[in-house]
Amino acid sequence: MEKDHPWIGVDNIIINENNEILLMRRSNNSKTYPSFWGLVSGWVEWGEEIHDALKREAKEEIGVDIEVVRFVGRYYDKKGRHPKKTSMCLPHICKIIKGDPRVNQPKEVQDVRWFKPKEIRKMKLAYDHKQMLEDEGLI
């Protein structure tokens, strides 16, 4: 486990007008949760504001511009949540304001798709992304 400092992550819970949730499939080469579906997420960069990190991750990974709707909660590190880092994640409900979701970083993302909540209930997602969606009553 890296011991330099705790990491701050952001998670985009992107919902469309049909109440579908956008998930991305992580690369086969990902160091953590390879080939798992999960939320569009990433780490906050030094000096970056949280909303800017959410927007940057959405643009980098799936090529869309988003609007941050609201903060939904904090998820602290627990043993095994992230296999290599101590982290705290800050999920937000977001909506796309420009662009169509697509694989924008093939080294990190292999697929992007909208899912109905009942489909996600049957899936195993990366990290604690499923718990985040359950806690919000979205699945």
Of 86 and 26, the structure prediction assigns the larger pLDDT to: 26
What CATH code is carried by the domain that includes residue 77?
Answer: 3.90.79.10
pTM metric for this prediction: 0.89
**pLDDT of res. 74:** 78
The answer as to whether 1 is a domain residue is no
Dist. CA 85–CA 125, nearest whole Å: 18
Q: Which run of H or E residues covers position 56?
A: helix 50-62
Structural domain includes residue 83 = yes
CB atoms < 10 A from the CB of 19, how many? 10
- Residue 77 pLDDT > 80: no
The band of 79, judged by pLDDT with boundaries at 50, 70 and 90, is low
- Look at residue 2 and tell me if it is in a domain: no
Residue 37 lies in a domain: yes
Element (H, E) at 109: strand 109-115
121 lies in some domain = yes
pLDDT tens-digit readout, 23-51 = 999 999 998 899 999 999 999 999 999 99
**pLDDT for the residue 83:** 62
pLDDT tens readout for residues 97-110: 999 999 998 899 99
CB hemisphere CA count around 51 (13 angstroms): 8
The parent domain of residue 96 ranges over 7-135
Residue corresponding to tokens 């993302």: 109
What's the structural domain count of the chain? 1
